[in-house]
Amino acid sequence: MTESKHKELKDRAFKVREHILRMSTDGGCFTGASLSCADLVVYLYSGFLNVNKDNLQDPNRDFLLLSKGHDVPALYGTFVELGWMEKERLNNHLKSNDSIYWHPNRNIPGIEFHSGSLGHLPAVGLGIAMDNKIKGLNNRVVVITGDGELDEGSVWETLHVASAYKMNNFTIVVDRNHFQANMRTEDLIPLEPLADKFEAFGCAVQRIDGHDFEALDKAFSALPFHSEKPSVIIADTVRGKGLPSIEARADRWFCNFKHEEVDSLLKELYGEAETNLTSETLTVR
């Protein structure tokens, strides 16, 4: 990855975090979880997937399914930064005149499948991957799951089938922020050793820092990890990443901040940013 590309991704991820914060009031959203996967979503759409606003109906495009649908503010923020959606439209969050709410809606271009009930989209993604194989297509299907979502048996059933059919065009990305809802995963139903469990289900696995664009690029550039296995990337992340005051906190899964709290958090975000910010970005509304 070139230095300029690395900077582009960091700047874009910063702006996506700003969008997430601005959506965290007047009804709120799943702020902490969205912040943990912002870098993953930005990298996938900006540095890996063959999908753009002009090929959304092309059967040869790559597919991304956000199984942890409550992270949709990160997805919509990325759409804005890519020019797929007007920035002003995010102001319609939770309003009756638009389809922007707590989970993905297929009325919005770029959303491949609605999600919200955890554990559903790995199977949907596998179905798409199998259909692509049958049609002789060489595109890729990526499904982002939460780590708490791995308590759902449907995830492991999907991997059992994916392994049996040697689905090397199918990749699961785990946003491993170590929280599910308002508890740490290891305090509820421990997941570790997670890589060993995926390998036992016939997957090829890599574990990386989910906030390191160089590590993301290295891992995704190596896909598929095995010619006859589905791939899994465990991306270690931090809930609330970018805002030290709410990072790794069980009570910052869903947030409905007052406007003055959002203003304060935006100032904290600006202070943490290692990027050249424009005057427009520095305006706290």
pLDDT for res 179: 95
Enumerate domains of the chain plus CATH numbers: 3-272 (3.40.50.970)
pLDDT at 273: 54
Q: Is the dihedral of CA 117, 118, 120, 122 positive or negative?
A: positive
Q: Which residue has 């170590």 as its token pair? A: 178
Rounded CA separation 15/12 (Å): 5
Q: Please indicate, yes or no, whether the overall pTM of this predicted structure exceeds 0.85.
A: yes
**Which segments of the chain have a pLDDT < 70?**
272-285
Class of residue 245 by CB neighbours under 10 A (exposed 0-12, middle 13-18, buried 19+): exposed
pLDDT of residue 275: 41
What local confidence, expressed as pLDDT, does residue 272 receive?
60
User: 179-180 and 63-66 as β-strands: parallel, antiparallel, unpaired?
Assistant: unpaired
Looking at residue 276, its pLDDT comes to: 41
What is the enclosing helix (H) or strand (E) of 209?
strand 204-209
**pLDDT at res. 281:** 40
What is the per-residue pLDDT for 47?
86
* Residue 12 CB coordination number (10 Å): 23
Close Cβ partners of 283 (under 8 Å, ≥ 6 residues apart): none
